[in-house]
C-alpha cells in the first residue's frame, strides 16, 4: 500500500473510510489464504456500501470484491450478521438481473468466489421472470454485436469447476425451453420476442459446441 494510506488506514471512522483508501488496500498484496476475520468484519460494511452505490472497490474487477474472506459461509457469522449478508446478496443479484449494466456473470462470479453456493445463486437467477431474464441475457450476449458475433459471456475469473457449472446452466435445455416458449407465445410483444429468439439462438449455438 501507499505508505501514507497504510499509516492512516485505521484512522478514519469506518463509515468515512475514503474510497481511494479501500481501492489502495485492494491493490496491495495479501495472503492468498485470506485475511483475518476481524479485519474483514471491520471493513465489510464499507465495502458493501461501496458496491451498493456502484463504485469500484477493486480495479482488477468486480469479481474479486468479496473473496479475501469466505464471506458467503454462514458459519463465519452470527445469525444477525448472516441475515444482513444474505439479504445483501439476494438484493444485489436481483438488482443486477433487473437492470442493464455490466455483465450479470461478473456479479454471479463475485458471490461464488466469496463462498456462496453456486447452485443457490443459479437458482436465484432461474427464479427470475422469463421476460426479465431474456432482457438481461440479451444485453449481455447480443447487444451491440454484429450479426453472427453474439456470444455467451463468462468471466475469466471463474475457478474450476464453477466455469463448467455456469456454462452448463447457460446452455441448458431448461433455459433454452423457457426462452423459446416466450419467443413463440402469441402474447409476447414483438420487441421481446425478437430478443428471446436471439438469446435462444446463442444458447443453441453454444450448446452444440459443448
Average pLDDT over every residue of 197-207 = 97
Q: Is pLDDT of 88 > 80?
A: yes
Q: Are residues 96 and 15 in the same domain?
A: yes
Residue 170 lies in a domain: yes
pTM above 0.75, yes or no: yes
More confident residue, 102 or 11: 11
Using the predicted structure, report yes or no on whether residue 135 has a pLDDT greater than 80.
yes
Q: What is the mean pLDDT of residues 49-64?
A: 95
Same structural domain, 81 and 141: no
Asked if residue 164 and residue 75 are part of one domain, the reply reads no
Q: Is residue 38 part of a domain?
A: yes
Q: What is the mean pLDDT of residues 7-16?
A: 96
Q: Which residues contact 131 (CB under 8 A, 6 or more apart)?
A: 182, 192
Mean pLDDT score of the chain, rounded to an integer?
96
**Mean local confidence (pLDDT), 85-93:** 98
DSSP 75: G
pLDDT of residue 33: 83
Residue identified by cell 433455459 is 175
Q: How many domains does the chain have?
A: 2
Question: Cα separation of 186 and 190, whole Å?
Answer: 9
Residue-number span of the structural domain to which 199 is assigned:
129-210
Amino acid at each position: 500500500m501507499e505508505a501514507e494510506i497504510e499509516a492512516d488506514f485505521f484512522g478514519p471512522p469506518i463509515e468515512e473510510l475514503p474510497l481511494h483508501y479501500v481501492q489502495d488496500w485492494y491493490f496491495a498484496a495479501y495472503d492468498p489464504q485470506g485475511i483475518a476475520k476481524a479485519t474483514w468484519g471491520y471493513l465489510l460494511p464499507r465495502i458493501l456500501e461501496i458496491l451498493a452505490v456502484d463504485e469500484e472497490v477493486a480495479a482488477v474487477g468486480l469479481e474479486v470484491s468479496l473473496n479475501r474472506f469466505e464471506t458467503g459461509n454462514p458459519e463465519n457469522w452470527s445469525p444477525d450478521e448472516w441475515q444482513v449478508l444474505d439479504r445483501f446478496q439476494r438484493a444485489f443479484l436481483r438488482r443486477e438481473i433487473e437492470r442493464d449494466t455490466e455483465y450479470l456473470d461478473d456479479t454471479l462470479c463475485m458471490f461464488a468466489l466469496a463462498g456462496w453456493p453456486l447452485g443457490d445463486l443459479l437458482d436465484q437467477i432461474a427464479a427470475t421472470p422469463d421476460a426479465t431474464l431474456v432482457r438481461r441475457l440479451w444485453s449481455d450476449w447480443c447487444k451491440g454485436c454484429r450479426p453472427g458475433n453474439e456470444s455467451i459471456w463468462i468471466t475469466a475469473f471463474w475457478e474450476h469447476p464453477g466455469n463448467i457449472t455456469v456454462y452448463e446452466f447457460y446452455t441448458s435445455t431448461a433455459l433454452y425451453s423457457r426462452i423459446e416458449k416466450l419467443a413463440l407465445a402469441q402474447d409476447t410483444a414483438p420487441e421481446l420476442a425478437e430478443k428471446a429468439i436471439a438469446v435462444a439462438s446463442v444458447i443453441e449455438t453454444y450448446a452444440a459446441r459443448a
